[in-house]
Amino acid sequence: MAVNRWRLDGLRALVTGGTKGIGHAIAEEILHLGAEVYIVARNLDAVEQCVAAWQQQGLGAFGSAADLSLSGDRHGLMDTLKSHWSRLDILVNNVGMNIRKKAVEYSTDEYDTIMGTNLRSTFEICQKAYPLLKKSKAASVAAFLCMPAASYVTGDCIAVDGGFMINGF
């Protein structure tokens, strides 16, 4: 029986951390729904392998390597994206990490790494993507943070956050 699925033809999506795990699955789903997808991760070989595999299937995949915990790489990514696309319809802020120990045991460096990768990076990418998102007729933003115990859906912005920032568990 034919399944009538909704489509994303003609739309353009940035999926951070699109080479593995949840980000890879999201990128692949969006591609199969007809959108073009740009992925970014630190490992260039992994980015190139994913993009090549998708392009061989006729899908509109692109990508580059960047460490999104670094401000310079975030700037570089958005500059590259602006030269590649004149607008962005979907932003999936999937990159995130955790150091599994009690909050009271974090060193200052570990705290800075977590905040820089999960919070500041997401904020700055949203900020820098805003001019491109503004040119879309229906832009959407998704952010992934911490544990899967809670989710919020607020209009065009979906956040997945288990409350780590609030509860510190």
Ligand X SMILES: NC(=O)c1ccc[n+]([C@@H]2O[C@H](COP(=O)([O-])OP(=O)(O)OC[C@H]3O[C@@H](n4cnc5c(N)ncnc54)[C@H](OP(=O)(O)O)[C@@H]3O)[C@@H](O)[C@H]2O)c1
The nearer residue to ligand X, 127 or 135, going by C-beta atoms, is 127
Name which position in 7, 21, 49, 151 contacts ligand X (CB under 6 A): 21
Of 119, 90, 79, 75, nearest in space to 18 by CA: 90
Task: Tell whether residue 94 is a contact of ligand X (CB under 6 A).
Answer: yes
Report the alpha-carbon distance of residue 19 to residue 14 in Å, rounded. 12
DSSP three-state, residue 57: coil
Of 75, 154, 70, nearest in space to 117 by CA: 70
Site string for ligand X, 52-81 (x = CB under 6 A): --------------xxxx------------
Report the alpha-carbon distance of residue 74 to residue 58 in Å, rounded. 28
Residue 14 Cβ vs ligand X, minimum distance, rounded to whole Å:
12
Which residue carries 């080479």 as its tokens?
19
Cβ neighbours of residue 73 under 8 Å, at least 6 residues apart? 66, 67
The nearer residue to ligand X, 115 or 134, going by C-beta atoms, is 115
Task: Tell whether residue 124 is a contact of ligand X (CB under 6 A).
Answer: no
Task: Tell whether residue 122 is a contact of ligand X (CB under 6 A).
Answer: no
Task: Tell whether residue 99 is a contact of ligand X (CB under 6 A).
Answer: no
The nearer residue to ligand X, 35 or 144, going by C-beta atoms, is 144
Residues that bind ligand X (CB under 6 A): 17, 19-23, 40-43, 46, 66-69, 94-97, 117, 144, 147-148
